[in-house]
Amino acid sequence: MTTSAITILRATVSQVTCRTPDGESVIDWDTLHAAAKQDDAQLRAVYAAALKDATHLLRRTEQARVDASVTACSGHRADKIETRGYTGSVAVAPYTEENRSAAGNICDLETCRCGAKRSVNRNGRHEELGVWLAPTTEVE
């Protein structure tokens, strides 16, 4: 076994910093994706593992950034509202209560400046609140 594993040191949305037997290098995601699909089976396995590690690190890093931002927010407020159709109760016991009068019309997905989101069912003057949550990072 002559192939050495690649250690991922940092991963950002644009590039990945890794340590290889030749030293530290910074590569972009396209290069890493291409390397993980190359013809050489041995190198392909090494880079596929590196791609997986880098993707996980990016997710963890991004989730930590989002969580820190949401935690630091002094009070969530709807900065952006996306209106959707009602799909069901959004109340989260024991934090918020179900309100059947708010059912059956629309559901607003509210986003705070910090990134936190919550759903609110609205029907006329009635509303049923969800709870503010940090969104889950999805990178693929």
Q: How far is the CB of 113 from Zn ion (least distance, A)?
A: 6
Q: How far is the CB of 60 from Zn ion (least distance, A)?
A: 21
Q: How far is Cα 51 from Cα 14, in angstroms, rounded to an integer?
A: 13
In the complex with Zn ion, the residue whose CB is nearer, 16 or 116, is 116
Tokens 């340590």 correspond to what residue?
19
In the complex with Zn ion, the residue whose CB is nearer, 9 or 66, is 66
Q: How far is Cα 114 from Cα 132, in angstroms, rounded to an integer?
A: 11
> Under a CB-based contact definition with an 8 Å cutoff, are residues 11 and 27 in contact?
no
Could you tell me how many residues of this chain bind Zn ion (CB under 5 A)?
A: 5
Strand-pairing partners, residue 8, are 18
> Under a CB-based contact definition with an 8 Å cutoff, are residues 86 and 107 in contact?
yes
In the complex with Zn ion, the residue whose CB is nearer, 34 or 81, is 81
Q: How far is the CB of 102 from Zn ion (least distance, A)?
A: 23
In the complex with Zn ion, the residue whose CB is nearer, 37 or 113, is 113
Q: How far is the CB of 26 from Zn ion (least distance, A)?
A: 33
Calculate ∠ Cα 22-24-29, nearest 5°: 110
Taking CB under 5 A as the criterion, which residues in 56-115 touch Zn ion? 73, 76, 112, 114
Q: How far is the CB of 112 from Zn ion (least distance, A)?
A: 3
Q: How far is Cα 17 from Cα 26, in angstroms, rounded to an integer?
A: 4
Tokens 């190198």 correspond to what residue?
43
Interface with Zn ion, residue 116, by CB under 5 A: yes
Binding site for Zn ion (CB under 5 A): 73, 76, 112, 114, 116
